[in-house]
């Protein structure tokens, strides 16, 4: 008896695109091959090529579809509420953006961190689309923000969209309706942020740590190279040359390139943990501690923006065991913030507080990146005010 020929699903292209986006988001573009994508669907590699000419086409499709979904959702919400009060329009836009983020929660990391891998024209197209989305949001919001300049309105819209997109950075379990309510409130609060008063002036930064020796210098150069070119586009030789070491000498300090990346990510996690310990010890009162933690995190992120970017962008390129260990350290750091949020706002559950901490962290990076983490204290103070607004619930 002959086996019946298996029918090809009508949505095979969509299946391939979904699996590819999830794999790219979890392991990074370079860590996934066409055969792996095919195996997840129990099809052959050539079957994938019937729908997409190459792996890059899958990446471009994934990022474009995410950008299209978000931009369309915001535009539709804005159009449907023309003539309504600004707060109604803002609420509709935040709800629409949250809906897209939850629908694409498993692939959002790709949209956030891998746009850099797009070819120049594709990258420019996506950026143009996202800029237009922010302008649409600002058009709807600015009538409710009298006295706030257009540039500032757009920056707040970036922060609010960042809050809605933060759900893609973690897998904390919380009923979607409740999570949406918590994050929508945070987004509204960020938009209503008053001009940062003296309360948000940053205290002086701590003295820089002493030099960590030759290995630390090599790691510094590696972080810079990986930030500029991406982990997969940098060799041990390039890092060695940047550090003034012959390629063979690199192995005195690190076993391989992956070892360098793991050490870099450990440095980021350890720096955050050390900051939390120091701030917590110096601030026993919860409100003071939360404000101090917020300030310290903003300062750390701006001071080490390349390291922190490498952490979030490249963590998918380390071995599973290391990735799991680093994720555990990150959860511990997040929990320290979340516990303090609950101490200040006991009406929140631990899960709700965790959503807010991830939202605050996302704001730091997304708003910071709009000005390349400008060291201007007034800009950092504004980001600090945004973080406080997300975590405290208001700035009154």
**Tens digits of per-residue pLDDT, 121-135?**
999 999 999 999 999
Specify whether the CB–CB gap between 358 and 172 falls below 8 A.
yes
Q: At what angle do helices 176-191 and 86-103 cross, to 10 degrees?
A: 130
- Interval 307-362: pLDDT, tens: 999 999 999 899 999 999 999 999 999 999 999 999 999 999 999 999 999 999 99
Query: Quick check: helix, strand or coil at residue 374?
Result: coil
User: What per-residue confidence (pLDDT) applies to 21?
Assistant: 94
pLDDT-derived band of residue 45, with 50, 70 and 90 as boundaries? Answer: very high
Contact present, 222 and 200 (Cβ < 8 Å): no
Residue 206 has pLDDT above 90, yes or no: no
H helices present in 230-345, as ranges: 236-243, 257-282, 286-303, 305-314, 320-344
pLDDT at position 114, please? 86
Q: pTM, whole model, 2 decimals?
A: 0.92
Query: Given CA atoms 343, 348, 349, 350 in this order, what sign does their dihedral have?
Result: negative
| Closest by CA position to 174, among listed 348, 324, 294 | 348
pLDDT digits (tens, 9 = 90+) for 349-373: 999 999 999 999 999 999 999 999 9
Q: What is the DSSP secondary structure assignment for residue 207, as one 8-state letter?
A: P
How far apart, in whole angstroms, are the C-alpha atoms of residue 162 and residue 70?
12
DSSP label at 196?
A: -
Q: What are the structural domains, with CATH classification, of the chain? A: 12-191 (1.10.357.10), 198-392 (1.10.357.10)
Q: Which of 158-162, 206-210, 214-218, 384-388 has the lowest mean pLDDT?
A: 206-210
> How far is the C-alpha of 29 from the C-alpha of 24, rounded, in Å?
5
pLDDT of residue 112: 82
- 210-247 pLDDT, tens digit each: 556 889 999 999 999 999 999 999 999 999 999 999 88
pLDDT range class, residue 199, cuts 50, 70, 90 = low
Distance CA 154, CA 134 (A): 6
Q: Is a pLDDT exceeding 90 seen at residue 248? A: no
């Amino acid at each position: 008896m002959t086996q019946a020929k298996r029918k090809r699903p009508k949505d095979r292209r969509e299946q391939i695109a979904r699996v590819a986006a999830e794999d790219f988001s979890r392991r990074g573009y370079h860590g996934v091959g066409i055969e792996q994508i095919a195996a997840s669907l129990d099809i052959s590699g050539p079957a994938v090529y019937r729908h997409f000419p190459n792996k890059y086409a899958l990446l471009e499709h994934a990022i474009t579809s995410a950008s299209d979904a978000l931009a369309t959702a915001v535009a539709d919400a804005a159009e449907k509420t023309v003539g309504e009060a600004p707060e109604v329009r803002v609420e509709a836009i935040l709800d629409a953006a949250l809906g897209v983020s939850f629908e694409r929660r498993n692939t959002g990391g790709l949209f956030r961190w891998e746009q850099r891998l797009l070819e120049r024209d594709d990258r420019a197209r996506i950026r143009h689309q996202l800029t237009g989305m922010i302008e649409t949001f600002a058009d709807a919001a600015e009538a409710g923000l009298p006295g706030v300049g257009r540039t500032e309105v757009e920056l707040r819209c970036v922060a609010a969209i960042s809050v809605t997109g933060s759900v893609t950075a973690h897998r904390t379990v919380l009923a979607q309706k409740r999570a949406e309510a918590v994050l929508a409130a945070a987004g509204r609060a960020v938009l209503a942020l008053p001009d940062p008063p003296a309360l948000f002036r940053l205290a002086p930064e701590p003295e820089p740590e002493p030099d960590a020796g030759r290995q630390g210098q090599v790691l510094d150069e590696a972080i810079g190279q990986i930030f500029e070119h991406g982990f997969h586009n940098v060799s041990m030789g390039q890092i060695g040359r940047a550090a003034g070491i012959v390629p063979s000498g690199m192995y005195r300090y690190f076993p391989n390139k992956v070892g360098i990346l793991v050490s870099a990510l450990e440095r980021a996690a350890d720096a955050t943990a050390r900051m939390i310990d120091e701030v917590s010890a110096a601030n026993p009162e919860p409100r003071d501690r939360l404000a101090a933690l917020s300030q310290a995190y903003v300062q750390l992120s701006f001071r080490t923006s390349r390291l922190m970017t490498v952490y979030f962008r490249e963590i998918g390129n380390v071995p599973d065991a290391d990735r799991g260990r680093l994720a555990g350290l990150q959860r511990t750091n997040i929990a320290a913030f979340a516990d303090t949020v609950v101490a200040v706002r006991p009406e929140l559950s631990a899960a709700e507080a965790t959503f807010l901490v991830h939202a605050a962290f996302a704001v730091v990076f997304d708003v910071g990146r709009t000005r390349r983490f400008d060291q201007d204290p007034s800009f950092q103070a504004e980001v600090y005010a945004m973080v406080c607004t997300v975590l405290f619930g208001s700035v009154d």
